[in-house]
Structure 1
Amino acid sequence: MKKVLIPVTNHATLGETNHANGTYAPELTHVLNELILAGIDYDIASIKGGKAPLYGTDIEGDDVNNKILADESFQNRINNTVPAHQVIINHYDAVFYPGGFGLLTDLATNQDFAQLSAQHYESGGLIAAVCHGPAALLPITLSDGESLLSKVSVTGFTREEEIDFGTIDDIPFLLEEALARKAARYNKVQPWGSFTIEDNNVITGQNPASAHAIGQALVSKLTSTQN
């Protein structure tokens, strides 16, 4: 059975504010729904381990989000995330970073998952990320000393979307600028439309609306390859 590692943030607020935050649930649950339907297993991990903070858990009318959040297996995994030091990366076929503002404070600079992801990528593994999730690609350095981002085209949450969402003044840094400076190419479309890029085993999505497509792309890649 194929298996995906999902690193999530331990940071429970928006930057240094007291606004509750963490991982944005729909970006996790919509991808998980595609994985589960395809018979692909997953583990949820975090830097520290233990219970991981979620927000966006009370969105009316999001049946997929509500279904996954109500699943006992999911609740067990999100409340008991695997600490980074216990992750055995060669047990996984892909790494997926869901978004949410929390990871801008921890995963965006964390070396534990950066090194695991570099090892995974150089072994031919897939890396996917959506919305703010591509921030976790920033610290990934490959064995040739070059950053992973310098070799691929990516997308991620845009400046316009930060302004629309009212978070531009509270985020630790602007993801679009960070990606544009480091990536081989940064791409975006008009705010809030679904947009994904697949480049050299790296799959990125611009915003929450892209989560479903990220899940589909992951499933397509994983089910078209054999160990």
Structure 2
Amino acid sequence: MTRISKILIALTSHDRLGDTGRSTGFYLPEAAHPWKVFTDAGYDVDLVSVRGGKPPVDGADTSDPIQRAFLDDAKIAAQLAATPRPQDIDAADYDAILYVGGHGTMWDFADDQVLAGLARDIYEADGVVAAVCHGPAGLVNIVLSDGTHLVDGKNVTAFTNGEEAAVGLTDVVPFLLQSVLEERGAKHIGAPNFEAHVVVDGRLVTGQNPASATGVAEAVVKTLAA
């Protein structure tokens, strides 16, 4: 029996923006717009979050019909109400994983070894690993079976140090994403602040900021079809 083609979207469970008193979470358009691309391409989409349950949402814009469609979709609504945890997921079920951004990811994606293991297993089974904006926080500690970091020697992009400074959060986030990716051996390729920018290196697809979310999803679909 042929397996249904599926893509896993990973979401943060962290809801506090450091000690600012402000809330955060996963950035809704960075989940909704890829979901639209994936489902239009015929893929089933599932959600996972670091701690499971109902993940915190940030950046919602109900004037955006794609975000409304995402939230109104019966399957997505049911999953958002009670997302599974990484340990509840079988990597063998998925062709790709997309790490969605939102500042919350900076506090919980990097240290989740089970989530990193899912991505490793998908990648080593010839699947695609993708991340957008702050989602690449999930990439920094993915170690392949040969002991190397997934991003080592790879061309990537992520929310840049310049963009973090532009939003005034350089001293709030626990680390600077661009810098840590570079420390892991990645070749970070940045574009001007907040411009759409997608980098593809084999089966690793990354996008710089929210404007890049649709392009990342389109690149994932293209890579899977290659």
Query: Shorter-chain TM-score: what band?
Result: over 0.9
Q: CA separation in 2, counterparts of 1:160 and 1:152?
A: 21
* Among candidates 142, 147, 156, match of residue 149 of structure 2: 147
Deviation at 1:83, TM superposition (A): 1.3
Q: Aligned with 1:149: secondary structure?
A: coil
Letter in 1 for 2:214: H
Aligned to 2:7: 4
Q: Between the two proteins, what is the percent identity of the paired residues?
A: 37
- Structure 2 residue 202 is the aligned partner of structure 1 residue 200: yes
Deviation at 1:99, TM superposition (A): 0.3
Q: CA separation in 2, counterparts of 1:174 and 1:92?
A: 30
* Among candidates 184, 187, 204, match of residue 185 of structure 1: 187
* Contact 1:15-1:102 within 8 A present in 2 as well: no
**Range moving further from structure 2, 202-211 or 170-179:** 170-179
Aligned to 1:36: 39
Q: Aligned with 1:101: secondary structure?
A: coil
- Structure 2 residue 37 is the aligned partner of structure 1 residue 26: no
Q: CA separation in 1, counterparts of 2:204 and 2:194?
A: 21
Q: Aligned with 2:17: secondary structure?
A: coil
TM (norm. structure 1) is: 0.93
* Among candidates 109, 116, 119, match of residue 107 of structure 1: 109
Q: CA separation in 2, counterparts of 1:184 and 1:55?
A: 28
What do the CA deviations read for 1:75-115 (whole angstroms, capped 9, x no partner)? Answer: 11112111111111000000110101111111111111111
What do the CA deviations read for 1:168-204 (whole angstroms, capped 9, x no partner)? Answer: 2211111111112213311101001111111020000
Q: CA separation in 2, counterparts of 1:176 and 1:127?
A: 18
Letter in 1 for 2:122: H
Deviation at 1:69, TM superposition (A): 2.1
- Structure 2 residue 214 is the aligned partner of structure 1 residue 212: yes
* Contact 1:118-1:142 within 8 A present in 2 as well: yes
Deviation at 1:14, TM superposition (A): 1.5
* Among candidates 132, 135, 138, match of residue 137 of structure 2: 135
Aligned to 2:90: 88
Q: CA separation in 1, counterparts of 2:186 and 2:163?
A: 22
Aligned residues: CA RMSD? 1.4
Structure 2: unaligned runs, 5 residues or longer: none
**Range moving further from structure 2, 126-135 or 17-26:** 17-26
Corresponding pairs, count: 223
* Contact 1:13-1:21 within 8 A present in 2 as well: yes
Q: CA separation in 2, counterparts of 1:219 and 1:179?
A: 24
Q: CA separation in 2, counterparts of 1:170 and 1:72?
A: 36
Q: Aligned with 2:196: secondary structure?
A: coil
* Among candidates 114, 120, 123, match of residue 121 of structure 1: 123
Q: Aligned with 2:144: secondary structure?
A: coil
Letter in 1 for 2:17: L
Letter in 2 for 1:13: R
* Contact 1:43-1:82 within 8 A present in 2 as well: no
Q: Aligned with 1:81: secondary structure?
A: coil
Structure 1: unaligned runs, 5 residues or longer: none
TM (norm. structure 2) is: 0.93
